[in-house]
Amino acid sequence: MSDLEAEYRLDYFEEEGFVRRECSSCGAAFWTRDVDRELCGEPPCADYSFIDDPGFPEPYTLAEMREAFLSFFEDHGHERIDPYPVAANRWRDDVLLTQASIYDFQPLVTSGETPPPANPLTISQPCIRMQDIDNVGKTGRHTMAFEMMAHHAFNTREDAEQDYAYEGEVYWKDQTVAYCDELFESLGADLEEITYIEDPWVGGGNAGPAIEVIYKGAELATLVFMCMERDPDGEYEMKDGHTYSFMDTYIVDTGYGLERWTWMSQGTATVYEAIYPDAIDFLKENAGIEHTDEERSLIHRAAKLSGRLDIDDVDDVEDARDDIADKLGVDVDRLRALVEPLEDIYAIADHSRTLAYMFGDGIVPSNVGTGYLARMVLRRTKRLVDTVGVDAPLDELVDMQAERLGYENRDTIREIVRTEERKYRKTLERGSRKVEALADEYAGTDEPIPTAELLELYDSHGIQPDMVVEIAAERGADVDVPDDFYALVADRHEEIGASAEEEERDERLRDLPETEKLYYDDQGRTEFEAIVLDVFDREEGYDVVLDQTMFYPEGGGQPADRGQITAGETTVDVLDVQEVDGVVLHHVDDDPGKGEFVRGQVDGERRDRLRAHHTATHLIGHAAREVLGDHVRQAGAQKGLDSSRLDLRHFERITREQVREIERVANELVRDDVPVRQEWPHRHEAEAEHGFDLYQGGVPPGTNVRLIHVGDADVQACAGTHVERTGEIGAIKVLKTEPVQDGVERVVFAAAGAAIEATQRTEDALYDAAATLDVDPLDVPETAERFFEEWKGRGKEIESLKEALAEARASGGADAEEVDLDGTTAVIQRLDGDADELRATANAHVEDGKVAVIGSGAGGSASFVVGVPDGVEINAGAVVGDLAGRVGGGGGGPPDFAQGGGPDVDALDDALAAAPDVLRTLQEA
């Protein structure tokens, strides 16, 4: 095994007079200009020495530092690239949020399949790291939202055997370190104080040498040289225990934390004061937090001390608090009371910026994916705002950040925040009862409410742990809240996995060429000729692979084509069509024979209906964005023959007026009969021109993407089959809208013939109703309302008649017999009514102060109801038990009111005749 030591022996280090040292404290190898240096410079081996002693002569704001970085690299031959959205799942399906600038170029650019947008390039990429959510505000240095400034260069080896989308070397390690050094110099840093620590990098199947750049105690940059891939036969063993070998491509992947650099230039006690000064001033004032000079100095000294400590998470903060209070000679409770509200304010500023990025980039809160993460951040922020007593509306706080970040959709952002706050309030009202019940359950025990319950309360009811703690304390229950609670929640929602089954299937098909797809040449054609390349046995039927096909495989929510394949005399039915890695599998009921020359016939009517529905889906999506706003994105779609559905991310219910407007906009495009064009541009050109909104139906693979343009109105990356002109759709009818989950609205609609059929069905129903009511169809609503009111009135009348009848019966019906029981009157009566009537009658007697024994033979069985007024010592349950026994059954109930019965109706009268004796016996007992 080799190690990577030689990889760090750079000419640049030698020319500049650097020496290699090993840290006398932690043993890490590092490079420095200071020949006497013994320590690597990174905490815990060294302190943050830039607090109150900035590392650059001039203070920079975030915006100034970003500009300084980007223009430095522009001046050094790099092209400046616009940042990508924070929702990385819009161009790749293995992650949710953007966490580093290299995410923008994975997986296709890093693998060499597609060229980068520029080479070399520089970017300042907004990122969100949910893992740090619990630390934000408390440690003084963690932020959840941050910008990773970077420069990247994409290289391939001269002797590469394959063709790659970029060729040759732009620059590599020496130049990368030289740039870093020069950037420091241009900002006026003391180069003697910089250390370059050797720290090999491993991640996502790749690896390479990497350098951490430390200045005055802070890690300011990471220079990663991605040049190896996992290889069982590789000669380098890395820290993950796997072996690696060199790849044909080698990539410069750097990361310079914008917040750290800004902080370094200001030397404030915490990073938050350097990057959110305005927001912090505003929040402090709003929450009425004022400090005396003495308090201010105490807070500053405490922050500086904690800056010097090795604080990586909240745990350490609490431990350190005692130490710091001790060193400052103050009471720890006093320190906590001073510092905690500030910590909340720092977190609010950070979370508001995170939300501005999320909503600005079009994430809509929901219970899945990025929508869930946004919801979680918003709820946590709301909680913090309430705790610290900030009364500025949350939408205003988020808007302050959105404005600073230059987002144009600020009205939508505010609307989303307000709607989400309303939903949260409702959830809390419902959820607090749950917590009370849970607290009561654990109150008597030694056990605290377990973490699993907390996670469940949060996931299902949005209840945050501090609220559980409050309620539990009131009810005497304990709660153990893990320090990384929110990170745990985020973890539960961030996992995306791939199935092993799929991988296995792919392997089977690897040797077959990609099927030529004729349906893109002429989407209206239904006949073709082809050669059977292979036939796979399946449990039921066969999968046939042809050299070319007109059959559209299921994909993008569009069902597969159907039809027939004919080989000589044999015709087989195509029951399903699927595509795996470019190979189209025709699922058929019989084997047409490998190597046969065949003719294919696609079911044209089915194809036409699907084309019309597919293009209509694009029109509905376009119309919805026009009517509801630009934040609307597709959450899913399913095209069908009779109707289709489109799921849209939207934060509230779609109103009836909005439905009509969507229908109007969509049908206007149909009437305009605009052309529907397809083109296959390079994905980067397409992304640059139209943005990631192209990928409404998911991200397609490949260097080139197929775009569907509907006139000039709408463009989407889409693999489906479409009409040639929108006029062919004829008509689009929205059938209904419904919420499928929080934050996702489903629009069900029909197109072409199906739209007319759907309208006819609705009309038929209306005509049927009109015939029954014997009125004109247009008068149905009014008539129905009148009938309904009358019907309700009659129901009430029947109720009161029943009551009157019961009272009449009680006051001496024909079969009623009154007996005296030691001064109390008992009424024994047969009344063949339903259970309601029996109970009403018994109640009427009991209210008169009488014992009631009511029997009924209605419905083919015998039943009894017995009621006993207060103060009479007879057990109604026992009476029913006895009487029911006489009709072959059983029953019972509480002592004041009971019911029961049995199958023997003929014995009912005898049982009632025996009732006086039964009552007397039970009274004596």
* Interacting residue ranges for Zn ion, rule: CB under 5 A: 23, 25-26, 28, 40, 45, 718, 720
Compute the least distance from the CB of residue 29 to Zn ion, in Å. Answer: 10
Compute the least distance from the CB of residue 24 to Zn ion, in Å. Answer: 8
The C-alpha atoms of residue 545 and residue 20 are separated, in whole angstroms, by: 61
The C-alpha atoms of residue 595 and residue 342 are separated, in whole angstroms, by: 76
Nearer to Zn ion, 601 or 638 (CB): 638
Nearer to Zn ion, 25 or 297 (CB): 25
Compute the least distance from the CB of residue 447 to Zn ion, in Å. Answer: 43
Nearer to Zn ion, 130 or 717 (CB): 717
Compute the least distance from the CB of residue 212 to Zn ion, in Å. Answer: 11
Compute the least distance from the CB of residue 609 to Zn ion, in Å. Answer: 15
Nearer to Zn ion, 666 or 862 (CB): 666
Count the Cβ atoms, other than its own, within 10 Å of residue 81: 21
Compute the least distance from the CB of residue 28 to Zn ion, in Å. Answer: 5
Nearer to Zn ion, 602 or 718 (CB): 718
Compute the least distance from the CB of residue 686 to Zn ion, in Å. Answer: 15
Compute the least distance from the CB of residue 718 to Zn ion, in Å. Answer: 3
Nearer to Zn ion, 8 or 372 (CB): 8
**3-class secondary-structure state, position 533:** strand
Nearer to Zn ion, 45 or 342 (CB): 45
Nearer to Zn ion, 26 or 913 (CB): 26
The DSSP annotation for 683-716 comes to HHHHHHHH-GGG-TT----SSB--EEEETTTEEE
Whether 746 and 641 have beta carbons less than 8 Å apart is answered as: no
C-alpha radius of gyration, the chain, whole number: 38
The C-alpha atoms of residue 577 and residue 558 are separated, in whole angstroms, by: 11
Peptide bond before 120: cis, by omega within 30 degrees of 0? yes
> To 10 degrees, the CA torsion angle through 253, 259, 261, 262?
150
The C-alpha atoms of residue 838 and residue 853 are separated, in whole angstroms, by: 9
Nearer to Zn ion, 665 or 718 (CB): 718
> To 10 degrees, the CA torsion angle through 835, 837, 843, 845?
-120
Buried b (16+ CB within 10 A) or exposed e, 238-263: beeeebbebbbbbbbbbbbbbbbbbb
Compute the least distance from the CB of residue 407 to Zn ion, in Å. Answer: 28
Nearer to Zn ion, 520 or 788 (CB): 520
Whether 550 and 594 have beta carbons less than 8 Å apart is answered as: no
Residues whose CB falls within 8 Å of the CB of residue 163, separated by 6 or more in sequence, listed in order: none
Compute the least distance from the CB of residue 694 to Zn ion, in Å. Answer: 11
Burial class of residue 814, CB neighbours in 10 A (0-12, 13-18, 19+): exposed
Compute the least distance from the CB of residue 369 to Zn ion, in Å. Answer: 21
What is the helix, strand, coil percentage profile of the chain, to 5?
Answer: 45, 25, 35
The C-alpha atoms of residue 96 and residue 101 are separated, in whole angstroms, by: 14
Residues pairing with 747 in the sheet: 646, 737
Nearer to Zn ion, 722 or 830 (CB): 722
| CA angle (765 as vertex; 762, 766 as ends), nearest 5 | 90
Structure tokens at 527: 């006949």
